Amino acid sequence: MKVKRIVSNIAAVSPPEADKFYSVIFGLKVVMDHGWIRTYSSGEEMTTQISVASEGGSGTPVPDLSIEVDSLETVLERVKNENIEIEYGPVTEPWGVRRFYVRDPFGKLINVLQHE
């Protein structure tokens, strides 16, 4: 048996509100929309993994999601353009990532990172 995919589900009263964050900030595309659930994807093939943590590193809270990007500066600019509050960072961490934390429209803490 092999795990083929792990999907993160975020509770939302109005799933289309996710567009303002996941499409505008991260450029994700809607790949499924049933009204009650909306799924976004970059189209990239990804590694299946689950992280279990007692903290988010550097004494930060454990984020609900971590999103790795290839250009942190691009995402940072989009976040600033949308007047989204940055809760932590941007900072280069001792383990080799540059990152910052923001909240999505549903209150989930998002760790946005790029490997150095």
Give me the pLDDT at residue 56, please.
Answer: 98
pLDDT at 8: 94
Structural domain count of the chain: 1
Q: Over the stretch 19-68, which tens digit does the pLDDT of each residue have?
A: 999 999 999 999 999 999 999 999 999 999 999 999 999 999 999 999 99
Tokens of 63: 């984020």
34 occurs within a structural domain: yes
pLDDT at 113: 98
CATH number of the domain to which 95 belongs: 3.10.180.10
In a domain, 86, yes or no: yes
- Rounded Cα gap, residues 5 and 93, in angstroms: 28
Q: Which domain holds residue 106?
A: 15-45+56-115
Q: Determine, yes or no, domain membership for 10.
A: no
pLDDT reported for residue 72: 98
* 8: in domain: no
Contacts of 78 (CB under 8 A, 6+ apart): 24, 25
What share of the chain has pLDDT > 70, as a percent?
A: 100
